[in-house]
Amino acid sequence: MSATENNPFNASWTYDKAPESTDHIQLKEQYELFIDGAFVKPLKGKYFETINPSNNQTIASVAEASSEDVDKAVHAARAAFDSWSTLSGRERGKYIYRIARLIQERAREFAVIESMDGGKPIRESRDIDVPLAANHFFYYAGWADKLAYAFPNKTPKPLGVAGQIIPWNFPLLMAAWKLAPALATGNTVVLKPAETTPLTALKLAEIIQESGLPKGVVNILTGAGATGAAIVQHPEVDKIAFTGSTAVGKYIQKTIAGTPKKLTLELGGKGANIIFEDAAIDQAVEGIVNAIFFNQGHVCCAGSRLFVQESVASTVIQKLKERMEHLIVGDPLDKNTDIGAINSTKQLETIKDYVEKGLKEGGEIYQPVCDLPKKGNWCRPTLFLNVSQSHTIVQEEIFGPVLTVQTFRTIDEVIDKANNTPYGLSAGVWTQHGAKIFHLTQQLNAGVVWANTFNKFDPTAPFGGYKESGFGREGGLQGLRPYLKFN
Ligand code: NAP
Ligand code: MG
């Protein structure tokens, strides 16, 4: 059934508007590159526009870094390395704490700008992205003077200059995941945010400047893929930390093969969310919604493949449809919004193409009835029934609010199906039986397996993938290791 009339679940009441105010935020019309502790114009004088995907209006124009700017930033990072890496861990930690506190102080501003630039609901940027970003800095600040305890009987040393490239789905949070462990371990950094969401990284640059962090330790270069490629190719970069698509990850791996550069890749996913018949069904339905519709489904570890045990399938699907009918799609700055704007028109096209493919290959679609705003990039939460392992939408990462639903009878069957993917980033298991959970966590080929919950993140917990989801871990003690050498 599509978004049409006569829907049995149609909500009988609605929420009033609850917009977050924007009068407290400070945005410039034009943003420069952050190199060597200062905001500087790009050498080639090029700028691009960053758009608000909920109305497709320009928010600001942003400098585009050329390979010459990359060169300048890498040299600044290199020049800062000796004194930063030999500063005591305790002193390094103080700067990182300061950055964490400054994020907290300006949390409201960060949250609003994140939602404006990227389209995610303010509830998520306010309650998840921004606090978690601050927590990452707090957590790694704590490690800065304890590296010898983290790796006993070894002498951990920083690698040098880290080139860090991040995607658009969690712009500030991904910047925090990258910067905090790199700084705690004594590396210096050149970081590139994604083209569609540069603003919170630039706000972070302002905070970094305010924190008094020695110049050159962190450099932030805005730009598109070419800027990222120039960072990857720069001969004086010692390590690349990349989060993004598997295709670009493979390209990076090929590019640096044969060089001494170290690499970590956090790539795509197609997570399985498995509901057993003994699960608490209502909680599981909430978990399914959170797993796939959180952040419009722009989540690498989204639970985009649902597996429901056959005996409870009709109940779960019925309840899920009913729950979807009550999801509010719309203005990211409204505090009641559940699903915000799709990050870019390009991503919306990609999602639409997948939905069409799903239909063409025989999938049965369900989308709730809901009004969508006239302007901007929107996608209704979408469910596909009647699909099997061979369907394109079951195989490939859609990176949008589109869920495929399959059923299973036995544990072995669902383990086979869940692992039948080139990816290996996340999975979820819903059951009352602890033994079943432990069995599945052993068998599922995924970097993180959530039990009776989904999409929970914590700076103390390592996160990363298997197979085409990449390698290396971010978060936790394990997240220090990719920024260190031990000789
Ligand atoms: P993407 O196209 O791979 O872009 C990621 C970053 O790489 C962006 O900053 C991008 O720049 C840059 N880039 C593009 N081409 C490049 C090149 N040739 N060399 C170096 N850098 C290049 O991915 P995306 O579409 O932004 O993000 C979605 C993907 O990220 C999904 O597959 C998702 O699963 C994955 N992801 C993974 C994790 C994880 O932890 N495993 C977390 C979040 C997202 P521009 O975008 O500015 O052009
Ligand atoms: Mg934008």
Ligand whose nearest atom lies closest to the CA of 426: 1
Ligand whose nearest atom lies closest to the CA of 194: 1
> C-alpha distances in angstroms, 98 versus 80, 101, 138, 199?
19, 5, 9, 20
pLDDT score at 352: 98
Task: Give the active site residues.
Answer: 266, 300
Distance (Å, whole) CA 400 – CA 324:
15
* Ligand 1 contact, 37 CB (< 6 A): no
SS3 label, residue 314 = helix
57 CA from centroid of ligand 1 (Å): 23
Average model confidence (pLDDT) across the chain: 96
Q: Which residues surround ligand 2, an ion (CB under 5 A)?
A: 50-51, 117, 196
Distance (Å, whole) CA 430 – CA 452:
5
pTM higher than 0.85: yes
Average pLDDT over residues 344-355: 98
pLDDT band for position 200 (cuts 50, 70, 90): very high
Question: What residue owns the CA closest to ligand 1's atom 9?
Answer: 194
* Ligand 1 contact, 271 CB (< 6 A): no
Average pLDDT over residues 283-312: 98
* Ligand 1 contact, 225 CB (< 6 A): yes
pLDDT band for position 1 (cuts 50, 70, 90): very low
pLDDT in tens, 16-38: 999 999 999 999 999 999 999 99
Give the residue, out of 267, 298, 455, with the most ligand 1 atoms within 8 A of its beta carbon, to mutate for a pocket test. Answer: 267
Residues of the chain with CATH 3.40.605.10: 30-267+469-486
Q: What are φ and ψ of residue 478, in 5° steps?
A: -60, -30
Q: Considering only the top CATH level, what class is 272-458?
A: alpha beta
In a 10 Å sphere around its CB, with 0-12 CB exposed, 13-18 middle and 19+ buried, how is residue 104 labelled? middle
Q: What are φ and ψ of residue 212, in 5° steps?
A: 80, 10
198 CA from centroid of ligand 2 (Å): 7
* Ligand 1 contact, 406 CB (< 6 A): no
Torsion angle, alpha carbons of 70, 74, 77, 78, to 10: -170
452 CA from centroid of ligand 1 (Å): 29
* Ligand 1 contact, 245 CB (< 6 A): yes
Ligand whose nearest atom lies closest to the CA of 376: 2
pLDDT score at 370: 86
pLDDT in tens, 182-195: 999 999 999 999 99
Fold classification of 30-267+469-486 is: Aldehyde Dehydrogenase; Chain A, domain 1 (3.40.605)
224 CA from centroid of ligand 1 (Å): 10
pLDDT score at 9: 55
203 CA from centroid of ligand 1 (Å): 20
